[in-house]
Structure 1
Amino acid sequence: MMKVGIIGAGLGGLSAAILLAHSGFEVHIYEKNTYPGGKMRRYSLGSSQFDFGPNTITMPSVFQEVIAQTGAVPDDYFQFTRLEVHTRNHFADGSYFDLSSDQTFNKEQLSNFDPFAYKKFEGYIKEITRLYTLSEQHFFRKTFMKKQDFLSLNLLKALVKVRPLQTLHQFNQQYFEDTRLLQMVNRYATYVGSSPYETPATFAMIAYLEMIQGVYYVNGGNPTIADGFAKRATELGVQIHYGVEVTKISVESRKARQIYLSNGEAKKFDTVIINGDLLKVYPDLVESRDRPSFQTKHVESYQPTMSAFVLLASLNKRVEGLKHHQVFFSSDYYKEFQELFQKKQFPSDPTIYICNSSYTEKAMSPNGDNLMILINAPATTIESTDQLVEQKQKIYHTLSLKGFPVQKHVVEDMIISPRNISHQFHSFNGALYGPSANRVKDAFFRPSNKAKDINNLYFVGGSTHPGGGSPMVTMSGMNVANHIIQSK
C-alpha cells in the first residue's frame, strides 16, 4: 500500500486525504495546530463564537462533492443555509446597497443608484457568467504539474477570452458609472487578496458566484466544513496527527524520502503533499540545494497578497441594522489600495467588513452580536502595539460615526494581526493567499502543484493553482489527489 504524508490539515490537505484514502492509499496528516481547517478556525470570547478566515461561503457543491465521491451523504457532515440578501454595502455618503442573488431585487435598487448600470445590468450578468464558465471549464479542474501544462492551445485560447489584459476596475467601468457601485464590485479583488486596479478582469467571475449561485452559511459555523472533512477522512482510515509540526523534509535523488517531526520522529512516505503557503513552508522545510528552481530570489519575485487586521468583538446586545455580512467603504478606494500595495502601510481610511453570524444563527452568540471585524492590511510583520491599538480605535470610531456605536456594548474583544497570521498559519508576511493576482503571470500562472526539483512532492492550498478561496483550495486538493491516483 502506497503511503502519503500530508503536511497541514487545511481544506486542501483534507480533501486530498479523503480521495486518496478512498482509493486505497495509507494517508497520514501532520497538523501543528490542535484543530482541522487551517485559517478556517473558531475563536471563542465569552458566550460568543467567531469564524476566522473564510466568512462568505460560495460554491457549496465543491465541498459536497468531496464527501459524495466517497459514497457518503454530504448533509451528514455539514448543511448549508442560503442567504438571499447577503451583504449590505454602506457607502461614505450614508447610502447603502443590499446585494442579493435575486437579480430583480438588485436591478430595482440600481434604478435609484445608477441609471446607466440599470440599463447595462443584464449585459453585466451575461459577461460574468461567461467568465465563470470559461474559468470552470479550462482552469479550475486542471492540474498544472509542469510549465508545459500551461501552454496547451485550448488553454491559451481560453486565456485570451477571459480579459487577462484588462483590470477589474476597467471592466467594471463598462457597466457601472456610480462610484459607490464601482467600489462594491471592485471589492471582489480582495477575495483573492489583490487590488481591483491591477488584478485582471477575469476575477469579475467572483461576482457571478455571489449574484447568481449565491452566498451561504454553514450551520454551526463555517469551520464545520473542516470538521466534516476531518470526520470523513478519519472514517476512511486517515490518521490525523494534531499538535505535531513537520520541521524538515529530507531529499535524496530528487525524491522526498523522510519528513522529520517536532516530536523527534522521522517518517518515510512514497509521496508528500504540502498544504501550506508555498512562499513560506517550502523554503522552510526543504534545503536550498534540493530546490534549485525555488531559491530566495524566486520567492522575492512574487508580490504577496494582502493580509488582514481582524478585531473579534463579543457584544452584550444586538445592534439594530447589522446584518450577517456588511461592508463600510472608505471614501477613496484607490488611495486605500495604493497605501496597501505601494506604501505597504495600514490604510488611513480603511474599508471595514463585518461578519455577524449570530444574525443568522443566534446560538453562535446568545447574549448579543458576535462581530468579526476586518480591514485590509499590508503583508508585513512589522507592526507595533501602538499601531494595533490605533487601528482598533479607528475602527470603533469610524463605526460610531456611521451610526453603529458598537464599542460601548463590547464585553470582550481580541485583535488578530498580520504578525499573528504569519505565526499561526506559517504564511509569508501574514499574506492570506500566497502570491497576489495583481500581475497577469501570477494571476494565471500560479506556482505549479508539483515541485519542479522533487519528483514526489506536491502542493495544495491557496498559494498554488487554482488559487485562493475555500472552494479553490478544496479543488486544489482534489486535483492533486486525482493526479496521484491516476499515476499510481
Structure 2
Amino acid sequence: MKVSIIGGGLGGLACATSLAHKGYDVHLFEKNSTLGGKMRPVTLGDYYFDFGPNTITMPYVFNQVIEQTGVDAAPYFRFVEVQPHMKNVGVNGETFYLSNDRAFMIRQLQHLDPHGAKNYPAFITEISRLYFLARQHFLNKAFLSKKDFISPKLANALLAVRPFETLEKFLQRYFTNPFVLQCFMRYATYIGSSPYKTPATFAMIAYLELVEGVYYVPGGTASIAKGFERRARELGVKIYTNSEVTNIDIDNGVAKSIELKQGEKIFSDLLVVNADVLQAMPTLDSSFLAKKRQITPSSSVFVILAGLNKKIASLEHHNVFFSPNYFNEFEQLFEQKVYADEPTIYICNSSKTDVTRSPKGDNLLILVNAPAGQTPPDQYDEKIMKQLERYSIYIKDAIVQKQIITPQTIEQDFNSYKGALYGYASNSFRSAFFRHPNKSSIASNLYFVGGSTHPGGGSPLVTLGGMHVADAIVNQH
C-alpha cells in the first residue's frame, strides 16, 4: 500500500519511519531543502545554531521512533543531560536555577520563597499526577474524530486535570515570590500561550523538566531529525526535498492524488499531511474558513542569531531574563497584538555544553515571544540588546555573524498560519483540549500530524503523534 506524506517535520518523519517498518511503500515530500521542520540547523560562518527547539525533554520518545524498528537509537543520536538546565534572572538581579535535583531546588527556594520551599514536594506530586493522567488519557493514541474527544472516561480524566483553573492561579497555591512565580509561569510559553489564561493542566510541562530533566543532543538538536531521516531511508522511504505540494485532489470522499509545484501528479492509497491545519484545511474544506477566523493563533517568535567574538562567562546553556511586567507582556502579545515593550528574553548558548558549535565565541540564539502575524517594529533587535545590558550582557560590539528570524520568516518557511509556532493558542478550554483530529472528516484516507493537531505542539508530542497516526493507519488499513 502506497502512502504519501506531505511535510518532513518530526511528525511526518516519525510516521514515515513507523509505516515503512510495517511494510508500507512510503513517499515523503518536503518543500524545503532540509527535513525536520523547525528543528533544522543554521550555519553562519563558523557558528552553528539550532533554528528550533532547544530544551529537549522526553528523550525516550525520540529513541522509540528508532528502537521500534528493531535497532538501537545510539548510533543515530544520543542525549546529554543539562544540569542545572535553566538560569533565570529577575529584574533585580536575583537568580533561580531550574533542575530536576529536588534538594537543590528546595535549597534555592528556602532563600527566595520559604513558603514555596515547604510546598515544593506537594507541587512535584501534583504536577506528576497531572502528567500521568494526561499520558494515560490524552497522549497515548491518535484521536481520529470528534467522537474520540467526548468519551465518558476521557471526560472524567479531563475534569481531574484542573481544566478551569489558570496556570497562574494553580502556581499561586504553592509559591508566593513574584519572581519564582514568573519562572514557573513561563511554561505556558512552551505551547505559545499566556499563563494568565492557559489551563493549569499544562503545569504537567514542569514535570518533564523538574522530574525527568532537560537534555542536549551533541551536534545540535537537528541531529534528531537527521537520525530519523537516516533510519527512514534505510527502511526504504523515498524522500523528495524541494518538492512543494500545491494541491490535494479529493473525489467522492477519497484523497486521490497530490500535485507538486512542478506540475507532477502523485497518486497513492493513503495521504498524511504534516502541516499546519490552519493553512491546509481551508484549501480542502471551504467551511473551515469560518472556524479559522475565530481561532486565536499561538504566539510566534522574534529571534536574533548572534555569533560573538568572545565568551560571556555569566551565560549558561539556557538562560531567561525576565520582563519587569510579565502580565503586561502577555496583554500586549495576545490582547493588543503588539510586540512587548519590555519582553522576557531567552538565550540559548549551546557552545557552553558543546564547544564545537562555536569554537571562536558564543553562539547565541536570542528569542522573545512575538504576536503572530505582526511585523516587528524597526530596530527591535537593538531594543532587545539594549535591554540585555541591564543584566550586564553586552553583545552589540562583539557580534561578527547575525541573522534575524521573524513571524514572517516562520510563515514563509513552514507555511505556518501567521507564523504561529503551535497553531492554536491554548488560552481557552476548547483550544487547549480539543485540537484538530488526526483524521479528516472529508476524506476516508486522509490523516494529519503536527503541532496544530492532537496531541499538540512541542517536539516530543508531534513525534508521538506521528507514531500514533501510523498505528491508526495500520489498524484501519
SS at match of 1:106: helix
1:228 is matched with 227
CA displacement at 1:154 relative to structure 2: 1.2
**Distance in structure 2 (CA, Å) of the matches to 1:366 and 1:271:** 47
Matches within 5 A, 1:451-466: 451-466=440-455
* SS of equivalent to 1:423: helix
TM-aligned CA deviation for residue 207 of structure 1: 0.5
1:396 and 1:360 mapped to 2: Cα distance? 23
Give the one of 301, 307, 313 matched to 1:308. 301
User: Is 1:365–2:358 an aligned residue pair?
Assistant: yes
Whether the 8 Å contact between 2:190 and 2:458 is mirrored in structure 1 is: yes
What CA deviation, in whole Å up to 9, does each residue of 1:359-416 have, x standing for no partner?
Answer: 0000000100000000000001x426xx2x4210011101112101011211121100
Task: Say which SS state the counterpart of residue 256 (structure 1) adopts.
Answer: strand
1:135 aligns with 2:134: yes
Query: What one-letter code is carried by the residue in structure 2 that aligns with 1:477?
Result: G
Q: CA deviation at 1:295?
A: 2.1
Correspondence list, 1:190-209, <5 A: 190-209=189-208
Please state if 1:427 is matched with 2:422.
no
Corresponding residue number in structure 2 for 1:436:
425
Equivalent residue letter for 2:108: Q
In 2, the alpha carbon distance for the partners of 1:366 and 1:92 equals 31
Shift, 1:124, TM fit: 0.3
**Cα offset for 1:153?**
1.4
Would you say the 8 A contact 2:3–2:271 is kept in 1? yes
Structure 2 Cα separation of the partners of residues 168 and 148 of structure 1? 28
Aligned-pair CA distance for 1:54: 0.6
State which of 375, 391, 399 in structure 2 corresponds to 1:383. 375
Aligned to 2:329: 336
Q: Distance in 2 between matches of 1:337 and 1:199?
A: 12
Q: Does 1:445 align with 2:434?
A: yes
Identify the residue that residue 87 of structure 2 maps to in structure 1.
88
Number of residue-to-residue matches in the alignment: 477
| Counterpart residue type for residue 440 of structure 1 | F
- Residue 337 of structure 1 deviates from its aligned partner by 0.2
Q: Could you tell me which residue of structure 2 aligns to residue 483 of structure 1?
A: 472
Matching residue within 469, 474, 481 for 2:463:
474
- Residue identity matched to 1:144: F
| Structure 1 position 394 matched with structure 2 position 367 | no
Give the letter for the 1:351 counterpart: T
Name the structure 1 match of 2:72: 73
Whether the aligned pair in 1 keeps the contact of 2:307 and 2:401 (CA below 8 Å) is: yes
Tell me how far 1:53 sits from its aligned partner: 1.1
Helix, strand or coil at the partner of 1:154: helix
Q: Partners in 1 of 2:288 and 2:203 — Cα distance?
A: 33
The question of 1:354 aligning with 2:347 is answered yes
Q: Deviations over 1:428-484 (max 9, x none)?
A: 000000011101111111111111111111110000000010000001101100000
Q: What residue identity is the alignment partner of 1:274?
A: V
Secondary structure of the corresponding residue to residue 86 of structure 2: strand
* C-alpha separation in 2, matches of 1:83 and 1:405: 25
CA distance in 2, matches of 1:359, 1:323: 6
Aligned residue number for residue 103 of structure 2: 104
Spell out, residue by residue over 1:183-221, the C-alpha distance to the aligned partner (whole angstroms, 9 max, x if none).
000000000000000000000001000010000001100
1:142-221 alignment, distance < 5 Å: 142-221=141-220
Give the TM-score normalised by structure 2: 0.99
Q: Aligned AA for 2:194?
A: S
Answer yes or no: is the 8 Å Cα contact 2:41–2:222 preserved in 1.
yes
Using the alignment, how far apart are the partners of 2:203 and 2:133 within structure 1? 12
Matched residues in 1 for 2:288 and 2:69: separation?
A: 39
Q: Report the aligned-residue RMSD.
A: 0.9
> Secondary structure of the residue that 1:257 maps to in structure 2?
strand
Among candidates 335, 338, 349, match of residue 345 of structure 1: 338
Distance between the aligned counterparts of 1:462 and 1:60, measured in 2? 18
Q: Distance in 2 between matches of 1:313 and 1:283?
A: 37
Superposition pairs of residues 32-71 of structure 1, within 5 angstroms? 32-71=31-70
Deviation readout 1:291-331 (Å, 9 max, x if unpaired): 25x42101112111000000000001111100000000000
Paired with 2:104 and 2:415, the residues of 1 have a C-alpha distance of 42
Stretches of structure 1 that go unaligned for 5 or more consecutive residues are none
Structure 2 gaps, min length 5: none
Structure 1 residue 262 corresponds to structure 2 residue 261: yes
Structure 2 counterpart of 1:67, which letter?
A: I
Letter in 1 for 2:44: L
Question: What's the TM-score, normalizing by structure 1?
Answer: 0.97
Q: Distance in 1 between the 2:212 and 2:137 partners?
A: 19
- Cα displacement string for residues 239-290 of structure 1 (whole angstroms, at most 9, x for unaligned residues): 0100010010011001110100012210101111110111012324x3xxxx
- Identical positions, percent: 49
Q: Secondary structure at the match of 1:74?
A: coil
Paired with 2:342 and 2:23, the residues of 1 have a C-alpha distance of: 53
SS in 1 for 2:85: strand
